[in-house]
Chain A
Amino acid sequence: IFPWKLVSAAAFLVPERGQDKIDIVINETFGEVESSNLIGKEQTDKSDNDIPHDNYTENSNDVQTHTFTKFPPTAEDEDEETDKSEQFFDVETRQVLYRIGGSMLPLPRSNYLKSHIRPNPDLYGPFWICTTLVFTTAIAGNLANYLQSAGIDYQWKYDFHKVTFAATAIFSYWWLVPTAIFGVLWWRGNQAGYTFLEILCVYGYSLAIYIPVSILWVIQFNWFQWLLVAVGAVMSGLVLVFVFWPAVREEDKKIAWSIIVVIFLLHLALAVGFKAKWCVHCKFF
């Protein structure tokens, strides 16, 4: 085995996005392998700034390790800066579906934010979940009115302004509560490292369970509708609790518990609010 064989198989090292070093381990004795053969230095017009820095070590078994860092910027890096707003929509279909599924199933040991949302929080899912929820709750409210009054020969006048009410309520919840939580965490100097975008993303996806809940509200049994509200709120509320508990765990006990309880209650209040507003026969509202 001769050194020229390695040269003929030389690779041109181009790092992936976000990767800043490449390790090449050579564990047969070729004699010394020049790093220039590994980084394709055939182009003579490259200046020293264009050549990655090679940190070369060799241990006693003649195993060479070349660690390349400081790669010159490539064409791919330029694409990253073209559209800042596209980074909020940098998801694929199966990622969105995976995140929606994860928001409905609370698992005590796992943190939804760490396992599903990082490293690329997106705004596509939350925005379209909120928009869909606005329309499903408005339609469900109208259908509820119609079906409950159907026996009285009621000519259905649908209330379009339910849409505006629902939109205001849902989008306010989606933005104001994360702002408040982020503010509280920042004020307390919390070290969990949750960015505002990540909290926003988690809250948007946590509303996903209310979409099937609001569609199932068509079934006109009061106890069933309240059961749906309870199940939906508890499931996604618990996901939220498991996300924020690791963050507030180090705080003073009272503050930590009050934050968690407030998060859960607000989540429940949203669903209860919609059910109560459009419940014609409710006795206690």
Chain B
Amino acid sequence: MADVEFHDREIMNDVPLEGDITVPGLKTQYEDQEISTLDEPVRETIMRDVKAVGTKFWHVLYPKQSSSLLKEWDLWGPLILCVFLAMMLQGSTEELNKMRDGGPQFAEVFVIYWVGAVIVTLNIKLLGGNISFFQSICVLGYCVCPLAISLIICRIILIASQTTALFVVRFIIVVIAFGWSTFASTAFLTDCHPPNRKALAIYPIFLFYFVISWLIISHTHS
């Protein structure tokens, strides 16, 4: 039977009771990063987030590496894209007075975007996909980026006077962007679905980007 030893209180305070489970060699670097985020200038904090958002946009446009978008999700990118889309697509107020303006209002685009993303995410989860809620919204939101670029291009084309040929050009650009968005998002989300339900999970994503594409192609205000 071992004897029970009693320690003095001061000694107990010196005994380290917590620490990190890290490789000893990297320990000092990790500790430095941990401490310094409080003291760093605001610009650095902002730039780090901006860089993260920018990297994600890059990965959407060139969907080779499928894991980084999912590992650290953030909703900045989707918010930026949504606000941009809503501002560009809303009907203008002066024409509201002249004729019945049928374009979506800012709030309607907002609602379609976020409610659409939530419904598609719920669908993925109900079909048994193993991805977290916000990761899925993050992926769906970021993959609208090609469509936003096509909106910019269409707006530029709309500056010229419209002919059927220009309409066809706009149509083709939006179709390409739609295909790019759908392909990118299925590339990111492909591992999460059970194999016999892949088409069931991908179809709502297709419908979501189709609706956004329709909003873009039918936007003819200049």
Contact = CB atoms under 8 A, between A and B. Distances in A.
A135 interface: yes
Given A128-B204, A132-B207, A156 B218 contact: yes
A131 interface: yes
A185 B75 CA distance: 48
Given A157-B102, A159-B102, A92 B196 contact: yes
B197 A92 contact: yes
B20 to A, nearest CB: 34
A158 B127 contact: no
A160 B102 contact: yes
Nearest to B204: A128
Contacts of A131: 204, 207
B130 interface: no
A131 B211 CA distance: 11
Contacts of A158: 102-103, 218
B172 interface: no
Contacts of A139: 214
Interface residues of B, number: 24
Contacts of A89: 123, 126-128
Nearest to B119: A131
B99 to A, nearest CB: 7
Nearest to B167: A156
A270 to B, nearest CB: 21
Nearest to A96: B200
Contacts of B128: 86, 89
Given A124-B123, A124-B127, A158-B102, A93 B197 contact: yes
A162 to B, nearest CB: 8
Contact of A86 (B99, B100, B126): B126
B200 A93 contact: yes
Interface string A118-150: 000000100010011001000100100000000
Contacts of B21: none
Contacts, number: 55
Could you say which of A128, A139, A155, A158 has the most chain B C-beta atoms within 10 Å of its C-beta?
Answer: A158
Given A85-B126, A160-B104, A93 B207 contact: no
B198 interface: yes
Given A85-B126, A88-B126, A135-B207, A157 B214 contact: no
Contacts of A128: 123, 203-204, 207
Contacts of A247: none
B220 interface: yes
Contact of B99 (A85, A124, A142, A157): A157
Contacts of A135: 207, 210-211, 214
A155 B99 CA distance: 11
A93 B123 contact: no
B49 interface: no
A158 B214 CA distance: 11
Contact of A155 (B203, B207, B220): B220
Given A142-B218, A157-B103, 10 more contacts: A85-B126, A86-B126, A93-B196, A93-B198, A96-B200, A128-B123, A128-B203, A128-B207, A135-B211, A156-B218
24 contacts: A85-B126, A86-B128, A89-B123, A89-B128, A92-B197, A92-B200, A93-B197, A93-B200, A124-B126, A124-B127, A128-B207, A131-B204, A132-B207, A135-B207, A135-B211, A139-B214, A156-B218, A156-B220, A157-B100, A157-B102, A157-B103, A159-B100, A160-B102, A160-B104
Interface of B: 99-104, 108, 123, 126-128, 196-200, 203-204, 207, 210-211, 214, 218, 220
Which 5 pairs across A and B sit closest by C-beta, in order of nearness? A159-B102, A89-B126, A93-B199, A92-B196, A160-B104
Interface of A: 85-86, 88-89, 91-94, 96, 124, 128, 131-132, 135, 139, 142, 155-161
